[in-house]
Amino acid sequence: MTGKRRLLGMGLAVLLVGVGLGVARTLPLEVEVAKPERDVSIRVFALGTVEARVASRLGFELPGLLTEVLADANDRVTSGQTLARLDSREQEARVDKARANLEHAKANVRKSEAAIAKARALLTKRQDASRRRQALVKSSAVSVEAAADALADANVAQAELTVALAEADVARAEVRDAEAAVNMETVLLARRTLTAPYNGVILERHKEPGSVPAPGEAVLTVADPDSIWVRVFVDERSAGGLAVGQEAEVRLRSLPERVFHGRVARVDIESDRVSEERRVHIACLDCPPVLHPGEQAEALIALTRLPEAVLIPRTALSGSQGGGGLAWAVVEGRLAKVPLTFGHATHDGRLEVVRGLPEGALLATKPDAGFKEGRRARAMDPP
């Protein structure tokens, strides 16, 4: 009797389970669906680093022994300030020699000018004497030979003046050559002193006194602090709407809990052919006064705002290609796959549905393995 009761109970349980499953199959499946959203901000995520738009690696044009380095990292410098020096004793001696040659050339000019004055005085004297003798020849007071000698002397004096004038021109040319030599040696001397090209801050000190840097090798790196910006890289698929002036939120790795504000200052025309990304430069409006070039930064760039949109997660798509894809929807109380066309994408992985959603249909945001074409379904009530 007991065995019969046990079999009867088991049969009843199986019957109840079957009835329950049948009822469950007839009940609509509750589906979490996407609701229209208002004032949707379309933003693109970008990762990059803090950079200085104006930065210079400063070095000497000439080789030499580094004797002084007068600035260090984080020092503020002003335009024209002396930052470092090379040993300049040999070049200073060359400048002194060039200046001495210049003084010698100037003395030769003065000497030639005196010779010109002498030649002119002699010419005047001999011309006067020649004119007197030419007049006396007519009265036979002097001989024709004496008059001819006087005229010849005047001609010789004229030639001597011409020579003196030419020698003065040569002396003046030598002065110009000596002045050029002084300028050249002075320029070479100045190149042994490193100065700040603009007001800035020293980012790095590369060399110490006693070293011999090669021409062009960096001794210091300086940057203009007013030119610091954030350079980020945006995937080409999200870069179509980028434009100068768009607002951006910036997070620095050293201050991850703070959000700073900026604007897009430049969008590079050329994309990176390897990473397929576009460089975007963001000018920070309220960042800390001291930024560190090379520090990692994240940015959210506001491309546009949508007054109203239906958004579906990428994970809800069962197939996608180009600007479209298939998604599950509740259409007239039953599940169906519908082809959709997408517009903007949000930074959190959702797509704007612009075409393909039937009138009154609702998109499923979390499809599961139990979804079947034609199965009864209804939108899940919001919590």
Q: What 3 state SS string does the chain have?
A: CHHHHHHHHHHHHHHHHHHHHHHHHHCCEEECECCCEEEEEEEEEEEEEEEECCEEEEECCCCCCEEEECCCCCCEECCCCEEEEECCHHHHHHHHHHHHHHHHHHHHHHHHHHHHHHHHHHHHHHHHHHHHHHHHHHCCCCCHHHHHHHHHHHHHHHHHHHHHHHHHHHHHHHHHHHHHHHHHHHHHHHCCEEECCCCEEEEEECCCCCCCCCCCCEEEEEECHHHEEEEEEEEHHHCCCCCCCCEEEEEECCEEEEEEEEEEEEEEEEECCCCCEEEEEEEECCCCCCCCCCCEEEEEEEEEEEEEECEEEHHHEEEEECCEEEEEEEECCEEEEEEEEEEEECCCCEEEEEECCCCCCEEECCCCCCCCCCCEEEECCCC
Instruction: Categorize the per-residue pLDDT at 330 as very low, low, confident or very high, splitting at 50, 70 and 90.
Output: very high
* pLDDT value of residue 26: 63
**71 versus 349: which is more confidently predicted?**
71
Question: Is it the case that residue 41 has pLDDT exceeding 50?
Answer: yes
Instruction: Categorize the per-residue pLDDT at 7 as very low, low, confident or very high, splitting at 50, 70 and 90.
Output: low
- Looking at the DSSP assignment, which residues form a beta bridge with residue 261? 249
- Looking at the DSSP assignment, which residues form a beta bridge with residue 363? 329
Kindly state the average pLDDT of the residues 341-369.
91
| Identity of the amino acid at 231 | R
* pLDDT value of residue 2: 53
* pLDDT value of residue 131: 80
Question: Is it the case that residue 345 has pLDDT exceeding 90?
Answer: no
Residue 15 to residues 10, 19, 20: CA-CA distances in angstroms?
A: 9, 6, 9
* pLDDT value of residue 163: 92
Rg (C-alpha) for the chain, rounded Å, is 47
Residue 147 to residues 122, 130, 132, 144: CA-CA distances in angstroms?
A: 17, 6, 9, 5
Q: What is the DSSP string of 44-105?
A: EEEEEEEEESSEEEEE-SS---EEEE---TT-EE-TT-EEEEE--HHHHHHHHHHHHHHHHH
What mean pLDDT is reported for the chain?
A: 88
The pTM is what? 0.64
* pLDDT value of residue 4: 55
Per-residue pLDDT tens digits for 135-193: 787 777 777 787 787 788 888 889 988 998 999 999 999 999 999 999 999 999 999 99
Kindly state the average pLDDT of the residues 36-49.
93
* pLDDT value of residue 333: 92
Kindly state the average pLDDT of the residues 344-352.
88
Per-residue pLDDT tens digits for 210-250: 999 999 999 999 999 888 999 999 998 888 889 999 999 99
| Identity of the amino acid at 124 | T
Kindly state the average pLDDT of the residues 298-317.
93
* pLDDT value of residue 3: 54
44-53+225-305 CATH pick, 3.20.20.80, 2.40.30.170, 2.70.98.60, 3.40.190.10:
2.40.30.170
Contacts of 100 (CB under 8 A, 6+ apart): none
Kindly state the average pLDDT of the residues 282-288.
90
Per-residue pLDDT tens digits for 69-123: 999 999 999 999 999 999 999 999 999 999 999 999 999 999 999 999 998 898 8
Q: What is the DSSP letter of 332?
A: T
Q: Which helix (H) or strand (E) holds 128?
A: helix 89-138
CATH of domain 55-87+194-222: 2.40.50.100
* pLDDT value of residue 353: 94
